[in-house]
Amino acid sequence: MITSFLPLVAAVLFAIGAIGVLIRRNAIVILMCIELMLNAVNLTFASYAYELRSMAGHVFIFFVMTVAAAEAAVGLGIVIAVFRKRQSADVDDVNLMRW
């Protein structure tokens, strides 16, 4: 029961995170939505690890967390650097790389 229910929940969480990435303008909030998506993926992995009785799923979750941590750190560093230059954490202001 649990294993058929949780992946559905994870899918919903993933979609919500996706919508958030598309809708919000604040860079930090976007990063948070990305964390949301990553967690949904983690949840899916965990439930399948449980279903298939395999620890490989847990290992993968471990690595996803590692990468999420690194990415959050670097992303926030970028946001701070941009904020210093432009006094704004709005991603729409970061639009110099265009035609």
Q: Scanning residues 3 to 62, which ones bind another protein (CB under 8 A)?
A: 3-9, 11-26, 28-29, 31-33, 35-36, 39, 42-43, 46-47, 49-53, 55-56, 58-59, 61-62
The reply to whether 86 sits near another protein by the rule CB under 8 A is no
Phi, psi for 26 (deg, rounded to 5): -75, 130
Identify the three-state secondary structure at position 25: coil
Rounded to whole angstroms, the Cα distance separating 47 from 68 reads 19
- The full DSSP string for 37-97 is HHHHHHHHHHHHHHHHT-THHHHHHHHHHHHHHHHHHHHHHHHHHHHHHHS--BGGG---S
Residues 62-81 that bind another protein (CB under 8 A): 62-63, 65-74, 76-81
Single-letter amino acid code for the residue at 9: V
CB of 81 to another protein, least distance (A): 5
Residue 83 as a binder of another protein (CB under 8 A): the answer is yes
Binding-residue total with another protein (CB under 8 A) = 77
CB of 5 to another protein, least distance (A): 7
Question: Rounded to the nearest whole angstrom, what is the least distance from the CB of residue 93 to another protein in the complex?
Answer: 10
